[in-house]
Structure 1
């Protein structure tokens, strides 16, 4: 372990130097990058290396190329790229990885395309209850909120819990009040209302109603969650996750997104991870903490550990989903057992890549 960590410092110094010099430039999004070779024989192949920030827009959310209009493609790519640029601005200015993931997730929460913040889905009572968490890898400090109803950006409320309280998780009205007392202006429930989420609720309440391909795709996108992972110039990791939950969920239901070790985890020596999928299974499988433990105790690389959990273990518990996982050396993987995973990443040289179509990240294809 000591030798491997020392060897990893060589590429890290190069990436950090690039960030420190402020050489971020952003070309058009959507282009592929070549994946790096595996660390050694028998290890999995990462999606890419040299990543400083990555985001996701939910598992089961990827689009079908032939059925997607150019306008819709642009909207989703712009949404992911906009979140990456928000985090990039922070990192380029010398901000921390915590600052970067908060900025990236806030951008996704403000975009009604995604199931978080403004675009949150409805629960069974036609209300909105939102969850979020954030974790700092340097000392494993963490904060989370669950079932909040009046916070515009739940990820910022989660950070307040981490930094302004002695707690890790606050829920419901108490969390809403805490956020307001610490400067977050409240919003009313109608702030989150969107027509497409209302239509999804109506379909969920009428399961016998015939569905078109478009409505099935909309239902899948309603399962989504957003998240971000980052490494800064000090080589500190951070992760953040935010969600509106499941369409037509029981009032009071909480999934994995605000649960540290299930939906979110960050530890400097191992990984920053943000998960999305069937939350109950991610909780039972302690998904993101298990990825970290496999790296720390089984000497796995980031990609192998993430694949082990997402592709091998969680499906045996009866659920699927995806994760974005980032190591301190910039190794990045986004394995998923779900049909798709909307995600994108930013490399140290400023390249932004977004993946929104099923054929850009087929389930289980990466890391073999």
Structure 2
């Protein structure tokens, strides 16, 4: 089967979405292995201006994009719960994979799949619109044990681009496939295609109209919404994955850093697994995630020092901002960002889940 571009219609009315708020936290898998969730950050975020790790003994971390952050006084309990639940669900999916002995690659794919299916984030369902009112999605995944990697760019009919990226890594001799060829490859590998309206949400349509100056937006676009995950498995193998819908009102054909190995995604055993989010062109020019690894391997810096050097000192000089989740081979985790905020969370080896969505939980490292 071949998927060819075809006309499609935007819904005339947005579907009303009802959020069910559950106030009682239920441990995953019936409470197996004593897993618990924690809303408040622990330990406290690294102080602004210092290169200090956010946490230790981390086995999995995810992010939901860097941007202007959520403001506690302006965020309803329902909205807070929705964002935290989205991050927790992704972490639990990755944890479930690790608990059954899966590889770090399987864990990051599982975590990112959840975020791609969550319309709150800019990846998969809920992806932003291009300037011509379409959707073009990018993703990449990398395995630290042998530096194998796979990526797709500009796909229009793939429900979960990170899964297509993994297939490129494992089922082809290439690293990146783009456009129609990437869509066709995904179908050839057994992925069921979706039409463009699968990605559509009223929120993203309103943001496009706002970007084009056609209507005022009531949404502050608190986070850009690019998603990613990093993990280390029982064999100490590392992996990283990143997925995005790109930038609102971007030119058709624009590709950012998310599918570019060494820019938006990088993993190398012994140094770091990193996934980035922010101004993609700047992350490409600064080779952001590969530079973090190189500073650790050849510069003698630890994960916090290296990621701080890149995200806070180097990239802003190129004219952009953003953040990164970075995990080293010993489970030391850091999430520095020069943007006002970054939605992210992590899982420690003893089963503790931590999510950070408000500015005070994750202040910029400036």
Taking structure 2 as the reference length, what is the TM-score of the superposition?
A: 0.88
Q: Does 1:59 align with 2:59?
A: no
Deviation at 1:61, TM superposition (A): 5.1
Q: Does 1:324 align with 2:325?
A: yes
Q: Secondary structure at the match of 2:38?
A: coil
Structure-2 separation of matches of 1:111 and 1:338: 23
Mind listing any 5+ residue stretches in structure 2 that lack a counterpart? 1-30
Q: Residue 241 of structure 1 contacts residue 263 of structure 1 at CA under 8 Å; is this kept in 2?
A: yes
1:6-50 CA-to-partner distances (Å, cap 9, x unmatched) read xxxxxxxxxxxxxxxx9743323312212699xxxxx93200100
Q: Secondary structure at the match of 2:36?
A: coil
Q: Considering fraction of residues, name the structure with more helix.
A: 1
Q: Residue 29 of structure 1 contacts residue 81 of structure 1 at CA under 8 Å; is this kept in 2?
A: no
Deviation at 1:269, TM superposition (A): 1.2
Q: Secondary structure at the match of 2:34?
A: coil
Aligned CA distance change for structure 1 residues 193 and 36 (closer, same or farther; 3 Å): closer
Aligned CA distance change for structure 1 residues 24 and 97 (closer, same or farther; 3 Å): farther
Structure-1 separation of matches of 2:44 and 2:234: 22
Deviation at 1:74, TM superposition (A): 0.3
**Aligned counterpart, 1:314:** 315
Structure-2 separation of matches of 1:45 and 1:35: 11
Q: Residue 23 of structure 1 contacts residue 350 of structure 1 at CA under 8 Å; is this kept in 2?
A: no
**Aligned counterpart, 1:112:** 119
Q: Does 1:29 align with 2:30?
A: no
**Aligned counterpart, 1:300:** 301
Structure-2 separation of matches of 1:348 and 1:265: 22
After superposition, the CA RMSD in angstroms is 1.8
Taking structure 1 as the reference length, what is the TM-score of the superposition?
A: 0.88
Q: Does 1:169 align with 2:176?
A: yes
Q: Secondary structure at the match of 2:80?
A: helix
Q: Residue 271 of structure 2 contacts residue 296 of structure 2 at CA under 8 Å; is this kept in 1?
A: yes
Q: Does 1:94 align with 2:101?
A: yes
Mind listing any 5+ residue stretches in structure 1 that lack a counterpart? 1-21, 38-42
Q: Residue 256 of structure 1 contacts residue 283 of structure 1 at CA under 8 Å; is this kept in 2?
A: yes
Deviation at 1:210, TM superposition (A): 5.5
**Aligned counterpart, 1:358:** 359
Q: Secondary structure at the match of 1:59?
A: strand
Q: Secondary structure at the match of 2:239?
A: strand
